[in-house]
Structure 1
Amino acid sequence: MASNGPDGLPRSAESELSLRPILCRIENAQKRRAAGFTAETKLSAHNDPQPILKAGAAELLEMRRRRERILSPDLVDGPSWVMLLHAYVSPNSVMMTKELLNATSVPQTTAFRWLQYLEQEGYLEKAEHPSLTDNRATFYRLTPDGRVSLERVLEDMLRE
């Protein structure tokens, strides 16, 4: 069943992450390494690192702006971004509340407010752990729409 994404366009709940941008990026990095080009050569003492660093900072700002087109501006960095990434890479697709809170570098009360916000906005939802029956622990996972949105952001970030 298709649902609408944050941009209002129909999105599949089971969106497949295209590996093409990732493979392209890996291939380009391998070519640069093979040619002897590394970050160290880029920022060697023989060159002025400031233009390179400014270009890098400008690229980071552009990536943030592109993420804001897909996710709410509140979610493109900080504790919420860290929680979304951790929920995405979680081996069981679910994480304990405590794990999500500890993944951030903010006080637990602040992290918990962000967790509630992510749930309220429909990015995370409470879930049962696939192999545990302990009802005392609370688990979270990405919602299907949350996964689609995050995968769109990651694909965009990995494009060259």
Structure 2
Amino acid sequence: MTMHYISSTRAGTSARPGKVERALRAAPVAPITLVSSEDEEAASRRRRVALALAREFYAGRRRRSRFFSADLFGEPTWDILLDLYVASCEGRSVPTTSACIGAHVPPTTALRWLRILETRGLVAREEDGRDGRRTFVHLTTRGMTAIESFLGSMGNALSVALAGAARENLAEEEGIAVAAE
């Protein structure tokens, strides 16, 4: 298996980077500490929550298009990253063509974004050892770390928000005023 990394600095984009490309460049990637030996059960639970969130974010983007025009929300890189994360967690290989389809944009657009993600070190491609015409794409360690960090922070934020809403509902049922935090 040969890894393919794009060496072009432009990665198929115009000389002046767009908003998404500038945001990708500027986005810090915080390392995530997943486990210590006594924390294996908690780490497993965090991975299950992260996987459930990734699936829901991806499905939510499709659901959103039932209520809003799909052209209002162009995030093919996010779709690609979520798709690759879920596939990685499920132990599935993702052909490049499938990653393009999962991005829900024209193939040339998806390929351009894949090149940008490769340039940023978030994804890598490797040849199919049995079929020289096909390549697979997967998250790199950096890409996996970034998405797990994001999903972990979202899981924490959702837990806090849901706990706060539950406290407010309980207080409302009991007729108690709740101070805003």
TM-score by length of 2: 0.46
Aligned match of 1:92:
91
What whole-Å deviation, never above 9, does each CA across 1:39-67 have from its counterpart, x for those lacking one? xxxxxxxxxxxxxxxxxxxxxxxxxxxxx
Q: Which residue of 2 aligns with 1:146?
A: 143
One-letter code of the match for 1:115?
L
> What amino acid is aligned across from residue 156 of structure 1 in structure 2?
S
CA deviation after TM superposition for structure 1 residue 105, in Å: 1.8
Unmatched runs of 5 consecutive residues or more in structure 2: 1-26, 36-41, 53-73, 160-181
Q: Deviations over 1:47-97 (max 9, x none)?
A: xxxxxxxxxxxxxxxxxxxxxxxxxxxxxx710000001111113353101
Work out whether residues 15 and 148 of structure 1, in 8 Å CA contact, stay in contact via their aligned partners in 2.
no
Task: Specify the SS of the correspondent of 1:125.
Answer: strand
Greater CA drift, 85-94 or 113-122: 85-94
SS at 2:113 equivalent: helix
**Residues 15 and 137 (structure 1), Cα distance of their counterparts in 2 relative to 1, 3 Å cut:** farther
Q: Is the 8 A contact 2:127 2:136 kept in 1?
A: yes
Percentage identity across paired residues of the two chains: 30
Counterparts in 2 of 1:154 and 1:109: CA distance versus 1, 3 Å: same
Question: Aligned letter for 1:99?
Answer: S
How many residue pairs were aligned?
99
Equivalences for residues 28-43 of structure 1 within 5 A: none
Q: What is the CA distance between 1:111 and its match in structure 2? A: 1.1
Give the match for residue 152 of structure 2. 155
* Counterpart in the other structure of 1:104: 103
Q: 1: distance between equivalents of 2:78 and 2:85?
A: 11
Matched with 1:119 is: 118
Would you identify which runs of 4 or more consecutive aligned residues in structure 1 move more than 4 Å?
A: 6-9, 14-17, 20-23
Maintained 8 Å contact 1:22/1:158: no
Q: How many angstroms apart in 2 are the aligned matches of 1:105 and 1:119?
A: 19
Q: CA deviation at 1:133?
A: 1.5
Structure-2 separation of matches of 1:98 and 1:152: 27
1:127 Cα offset (Å): 2.3
User: Residue 21 of structure 1 contacts residue 158 of structure 1 at CA under 8 Å; is this kept in 2?
Assistant: no
Q: 1:135 to 1:147 in 2, by over 3 A?
A: same
TM-score by length of 1: 0.52
The code of the aligned residue for 2:101 comes to N
